[in-house]
Amino acid sequence: MCYDVAFKTNIKTIQDYFPGIKVENQLLLNFHDLDHIQAQGNLSYGIVVKENGIITLENMLWAGKVNRGGQRVWNARSETILERNSLWYIIRKNRCLIPVTGVYEHREIAGWKKKVPYYIGELNREVFYIPGLYDDGNIVDTTTREIPRTFILLTRKANWAMSQIHNANPQDPRMPLFLTPELELKWLSENLTDEEIKEITNYEIKSEDLKYHPVDTIRSRKPRADGKSKDAPLEWKGLPAIAKL
């Protein structure tokens, strides 16, 4: 699953992509770019929604949802959101886009004690948008003391490159649901049928359309020893290359 993303840019890039987008005042006042955002960090984030024909960059909390087993989950399998008994079916029409400049996943190497973190982005796109679902929040945002909406992002079965990076479960490798620009915009359409939702969630990005490289440990508050940002490449001695299948 994907619990780590980066949004290392500015609001203007989103405004350029969505001309006329309405931006919440709180985001305009408090926005700053981040090279690492972790789902479990309980952070507010700018999420794109469309309601009553108006596209808005709205403050939401990546707090996920509590499943029937009492566990909090931050991602949803895109294959399940149309299943009537799923946790997501009731909110399948609450569609949103999560702006990112990249995501992080961890790779296991046989014989290595530590997993190797990778930074993954899309070729030729500074910012891209992962589809998600949102819900009325039930967790207090510790930075504002408000109760914002919460969101989850969608995942799907991994392509050959991502299956080698996010390889902890080789029987069920996953990756975020990367979309084309056209499908991203369609995801925001307010009157999508279930068949149209299924068509979008069935999309699989080609491995060749992704860029990826190993980075230093990301889940640490300490700055990197080399002083670089968390998304900067780092050479891991002896690291096997990603094989093209």
- pLDDT of 148 reads 79
The C-alpha angle 220, 135, 74, rounded to 5 degrees, equals 30
**What is the rounded CA–CA span in Å between residue 130 and residue 177?**
6
- pLDDT of 98 reads 96
3-state SS, residue 195: helix
CA 149 to chain centre: 16
Average per-residue pLDDT for the chain? 91
3-state SS, residue 2: coil
Distances (CA, A) of 35 to 119, 137, 178, 231: 10, 25, 19, 6
- pLDDT of 29 reads 65
CATH number of residue 205's parent domain: 3.90.1680.10
Number of domain units in the chain: 1
In this structure, is residue 241 part of a structural domain?
no
- pLDDT of 222 reads 87
Two tokens, residue 99: 């702006």
Q: Yes or no: say if 163 and 173 are a contact pair by the CB < 8 Å rule.
A: yes
Comparing C-alpha atoms, which of 130, 127, 138, 155 is closest to residue 42?
A: 138
In which domain, by residue range, is 20 found?
A: 4-214
In this structure, is residue 229 part of a structural domain?
no
What is the mean pLDDT of the segment spanning 201-221?
A: 95
pLDDT in tens, 41-79: 777 789 999 999 999 999 898 988 888 888 888 999 999
Better-predicted residue by pLDDT, 141 or 192 = 192
Q: Which range scores top for mean pLDDT: 68-82, 154-168, 217-231?
A: 154-168
pLDDT at 104 over 80: yes
What is the reported pTM? Answer: 0.93
In this structure, is residue 226 part of a structural domain?
no
pLDDT band, very low/low/confident/very high, at 144 (cuts 50, 70, 90)? low
User: Residue 199 carries which side chain, given as an amino acid letter?
Assistant: E
pLDDT in tens, 145-157: 677 789 999 999 9
- pLDDT of 121 reads 97
Two tokens, residue 177: 């649901």
- Locate tokens 């080609």: which residue? 206
pLDDT at 232 over 90: yes
What is the mean pLDDT of the segment spanning 195-202?
A: 98
